[in-house]
A and B are shown apart, each in its own frame.
Chain A
Amino acid sequence: MLTFLRRRIVSSALPLLVVVLGVFALARLTGNPASLYLPLNATAEMRANFTAKYGFDDPLLVQMAHYFGGVLRLDFGESLRTGEPAAAMALRAFPATLQLAGTTMLLAVVLAVIVGCWAALKPNGVADRISSFVSMAAASVPDFWLAIMGILVFAITLGWVPTSGVGGATSWILPIATLLLRPFGVLVQIVRGAMVSSLSEPYIKLARSKGASEFRVVTRHALRNAAAPALTVAGDLTVSLVNGAVVVESIFGWPGIGKLMIDSILQRDFAVLQAAVLLTAVSIFILNILIDLGYAGLDARVRPAGRRKKSSRAASVVVAEPKERKIHVQTTP
């Protein structure tokens, strides 16, 4: 298990590093913040002072060395806008995003498993056709449009929930409902497909002939075997939520990492942007490892050699390239 983890960490750390370096370089391509933070009639001298103060006139490599030297000492720089430490701003915004993403995914997974199983019990039946159409529509709604229509109907016309901001429990309803729809739609299709194929396996016949109740057959025998593809897709969907539900967060004024990121991009607040990107990149990195561990828990074949003596060829292939399983699912959701 440790070998597996070490390989996984080493192979994912490189892309992580490249992304952080790339963000650093690209952000500086967007232009000098001096023109944004100084008044229009600022003299050339003032500009030069501002640029020199934050080191924007140094060569890119020098800036990078300076910044990452700071990162090693856990100094992530300060926000140009507020003068606050960038790390503090990112860490303050992150829980808001995590809460939103966590609640959304939890609801989406539970609902999708229920609907997906229900649809899979009778393939091509009425329930299946309804759920497949609903899930397809749900996965196709543009989230910004849904958010706006939700505000129009439930906040403005009916006045049930606030239009934006973080207040009481009601302020959570619209953002979660908006974010929920897409993961739900995608997951229903995955769960349904996996359940249909799992229910037609011989071990289900065996379980039924043993006299197991239908509920037990579905939950213990079929669902457990259908969980792997759903886990992959749920992981990818969570990644995209953690990465910042930028649009939804900015519509609902949700003080999360997505809103922080787009704001700092538009304001050229480089230090905050880098801190936010670094934070999400690291958390996605951890999330991916957790997903892989979840796999190993679910499917004995993925469990790497070492703990189990037998390691078939198929298993070793999967361990070497864990993405391979994901791809199969992606092509045929």
Chain B
Amino acid sequence: MSRPPRNAVQLPSGGRTVAPPGTEAIALPRGESVADKKTSLFQLLLKDRFATVAAVVLVLVGLTAVFGPTLMGDLSTRQDLGATNRPPFSFSDGWAFILGSDSLGRSMLARLVVATQTTLSVALPAVAISLVLGSLWGVWAGYHRGWRETVSMRIADVIMSFPSLLLAVVILYVFSPSAANIVLILAVTRIPIYLRTARAESAELQSRTFVDAARTFGTKPNAIIRRHVIPVVLPTLLTLATIEFCYVMLAESSLSFLGIGIQPPDVSWGLMVAQGRQYLQTAWWLSFFPGLAIMVTTVAANVLAAWLRIATDPAQRWRLTLPRKRLLVRLPVKEVL
């Protein structure tokens, strides 16, 4: 197997080749000996230092979110008015106060850990909901084209241009300001992203020969979407979801910061930054560390997304199997945006 497989179709727009589903195709540059095509994603990941670090960070954040609150939940609410606004990086109050304490003498470290769970439990469901709904809707709209496509795109336009802040305030006033409602707002406002992407990809795919073939055999539209369209679109959408995770996390933080997101006594990273704002002159660490946590998580997710984009693209995956030095020579050949 060398070069793109024969039945892979060259797109007119990009230079990307998309292999039909089912053919585990790895496009190789000419003359390149076939790299082990059974290389699993995990092995590929270990080869890329940056991506490995990013994945480790994300796993750590995930573990913190799962187990942290049970370990440090009590500590995060224990107040000590005798030890308020303690500066960070001093062991005089014990390891729990390594990141200092807040205005009520609560441990910053414990609060950060508890906030991790809140932050993730808003961001992850929101991303999952909008990914599933938006993708299915988009694939359906793109496959059928015609009025279904037009109507869907107009709906997407409406949602995109709607001020999401207003939506958040309405939900906050009309319903209770719970985490579930924030998830709902974030999910609804991000659906158009997946909708547009999935529609574009699926509209392109539905004119391909392998979809035509399936149609000729009398396969029902839903079955074609399930068997032939979704597997091809999925990698793109999953990568998009990783980037969206960052966006949603930042959006939740912004909402919480403005006072229309997570409400006290619950605590999220964005809320912690907001709460620390009034002590800015006396206790900078109250705002600094939660913001840093947001940033580190976001950067890690972004790095991983960049890696995923290449790793899940059959036409580009070979790049990751090459040693770094040769990559430098190889890359300028034809980088796909």
Contacts and interface: CB of A to CB of B under 8 A. Distances in A.
B78 to A, nearest CB: 26
A167 to B, nearest CB: 20
Contacts, number: 163
Interface in A1-21: 11-12, 14-16, 18-19
Interface stretch (B68-76, B176-184, B277-285): B277-285
Contact of A142 (B162, B243, B273): B273
B158 A136 contact: no
A208 interface: no
Interface in A288-333: 314, 321, 323-324, 326-333
A23 B291 CA distance: 32
A262 B258 contact: yes
Interface in A229-276: 229, 243-244, 246-247, 250, 261-262, 265-266, 273
Contacts of B284: 152
Contacts of A149: 287-288, 291
B287 to A, nearest CB: 5
B63 interface: no
Interface residues of A, number: 64
B173 A30 contact: yes
B170 A331 contact: no
Contact of B336 (A139, A151, A332, A333): A332
Contact of B334 (A124, A200, A281, A321): A200
A142 B261 CA distance: 15
Contact of A19 (B161, B290, B335): B161
A144 B14 contact: no
Nearest to A139: B302
Interface string B245-268: 010001001100110000000000
A142 B254 contact: yes
Contact of B165 (A11, A200, A261, A332): A261
Contacts of A193: 335, 337
Given A15-B161, A124-B327, A140 B246 contact: yes
A142 B270 contact: yes
B101 interface: no
Interface string B150-178: 00011001100111011101100110000
B246 A200 contact: no
B193 interface: yes
Given A123-B335, A332-B337, A277 B163 contact: yes
Nearest to A28: B170
Contacts of B331: 123-124, 196
Contacts of B15: 197
A143 to B, nearest CB: 8
A166 interface: no
Interface in B295-337: 295, 298-299, 302-303, 306, 309, 324, 327-328, 331-337
A197 B337 contact: yes
Given A145-B287, A265-B165, A247 B239 contact: no
Contacts of B196: 323, 326-327, 330
Contact of A23 (B163, B193, B274, B328): B163
A197 B336 contact: yes
A100 interface: no
Interface string A157-192: 000000000000000000000000000000000000
B155 to A, nearest CB: 8
A148 interface: yes
A93 interface: no
A27 interface: yes
A11 B166 contact: no
A149 B287 CA distance: 8
Contacts of A247: 254, 257-258
Range class of the B interface residue count: 35 or more
Contacts of B299: 136-137, 140
B12 interface: yes
Contacts of A141: 295, 298
A263 B169 CA distance: 11
A330 B169 CA distance: 28
B135 interface: no
Contacts of B277: 148
A125 B328 contact: yes
Contacts of B309: 332
A144 B328 contact: no
B206 interface: no
A14 B154 contact: yes
25 contacts: A15-B157, A18-B158, A23-B162, A23-B166, A31-B173, A123-B331, A136-B302, A136-B303, A140-B299, A140-B302, A144-B253, A144-B270, A148-B276, A148-B280, A151-B280, A193-B335, A200-B333, A250-B258, A261-B163, A326-B196, A327-B199, A328-B14, A331-B197, A331-B239, A332-B309
Interface of A: 11-12, 14-16, 18-19, 22-23, 26-27, 29-31, 123-125, 136-137, 139-146, 148-149, 151-152, 156, 193-194, 196-197, 199-200, 229, 243-244, 246-247, 250, 261-262, 265-266, 273, 277, 281, 284, 314, 321, 323-324, 326-333
Q: Which 8 A-B pairs have the closest CB atoms?
A: A145-B291, A140-B298, A15-B157, A196-B335, A327-B200, A123-B331, A193-B337, A30-B173
Interface of B: 12-15, 153-154, 157-158, 161-163, 165-167, 169-170, 173-174, 193, 196-197, 199-200, 236, 239-240, 243, 246, 250, 253-254, 257-258, 270, 273-274, 276-277, 280-281, 284, 287-288, 290-291, 294-295, 298-299, 302-303, 306, 309, 324, 327-328, 331-337
Given A14-B154, A22-B162, A140-B299, 12 more contacts: A15-B161, A19-B161, A19-B162, A31-B174, A137-B299, A142-B253, A142-B298, A148-B276, A243-B163, A330-B240, A332-B309, A332-B337
